[in-house]
Amino acid sequence: MKKVLAGLLIAGSTLFAGTYALDAGHSKLGFKIKHLSITNVYGTFDKFDANIEYDEKTKQLKVLKSKVDVNSVNTQNEKRDAHLKESDYFDVKKFPNMSFELVEIKDDMMIANLTIKGITKKVEFDYENNGIVKDPWGNTKLGFSLEAKINRVDFGLKANKLLDSGGLLLGEKVKITADIEAKKVN
C-alpha cells in the first residue's frame, strides 16, 4: 500500500510538469574573467541545448539538463578562442562538451552538477524564475536566469602566467551567466 501511495504522489507531482524546448535565438550562455587584473574578458558558448521540465502548478523547474558544445566558445577573438580549445584550457579533443544538471532548488538558489573537462562539482547558482507567458502566437514560453562564480582551477583550467606586477594574466574566478527562454512542447 505504501508503494502505491508513493507512486501516486510522484505521479501527481509531475502531472502539471510540461516539457520545454530551448529557444536558442532568445537564450544566452556567457562568462567573464579578469584579464591582467584590470579588466574583464567576456565570452559565450554559442551552441548548447537543454532538457527542461517545468511544473506549472508549483512554478518550479523539475528537470534542467544542458549540454554545451565547447567548440562554440566565442570571445570575439579567433586566436584566443583557438587557444581556449587547446589542452591547457578546455581540451576540446578529449572533452568536446560541458554539462549541467539541476540537483535542487531552494528559494532563489539552484544547486547543480557542473562538469567541465570531465570534472564534476556541485555549484550554487543564483536563480531567477521569470515564470511562463503566452507569446503573441499562442505559444507558452518559460524564462529564467542563472548566475554563479566558479574557480576555473577546480575544473582543470589551470593555465596562467605571472605578470611583472605580481598579478596573474587571468583571474581564477569565472562568472557564469545564463538567460534561458524555452517553448512548451507538451
**What is the per-residue pLDDT for 10?**
47
The model's pTM: 0.86
- Return phi, psi of residue 24, to 5°: -60, -30
Count of structural domains, the chain: 1
**What is the per-residue pLDDT for 157?**
81
**What is the per-residue pLDDT for 67?**
98
59 inside domain:
yes
- Return phi, psi of residue 83, to 5°: -65, -40
Among the listed residues 104, 123, 43, the one whose alpha carbon sits nearest the alpha carbon of residue 78 = 43
Q: What mean pLDDT comes out for the span 22-51?
A: 94
Query: Could you tell me how far CA 112 lies from the centroid of its own chain?
Result: 9
Tens-digit pLDDT profile for residues 124-170: 999 999 999 999 999 999 999 999 999 999 998 876 666 566 665 67
Instruction: Answer whether residue 1 shows pLDDT above 70.
Output: no
Domain hosting 177: range is: 16-184
> Look-up: residue for cell 517553448?
183
**What is the per-residue pLDDT for 35?**
83
Buried b (16+ CB within 10 A) or exposed e, 46-68: ebbebebbbbeeeeebbbbebbb
**Torsion sign, CA atoms 44, 49, 53, 56:** positive
**What is the per-residue pLDDT for 11?**
46
Q: In the beta sheet, which residues pair with residue 115?
A: 99, 120
45 inside domain:
yes
111 inside domain:
yes
66 inside domain:
yes
Tens-digit pLDDT profile for residues 61-97: 999 999 999 999 999 999 999 999 999 899 999 999 9
Query: Could you tell me how far CA 52 lies from the centroid of its own chain?
Result: 12
Tens-digit pLDDT profile for residues 3-30: 544 444 444 444 567 999 999 999 999 9
3 inside domain:
no
Instruction: Answer whether residue 103 shows pLDDT above 60.
Output: yes
Cell triple for 148: 554563479
169 inside domain:
yes
**What is the per-residue pLDDT for 171?**
75
d(CA 152, CA 165): 22
Cell triple for 59: 512554478
The CATH number of the domain holding residue 127 is: 2.40.128.110
Q: What is the DSSP string of 156-171?
A: T-----B-TTS-BSEE
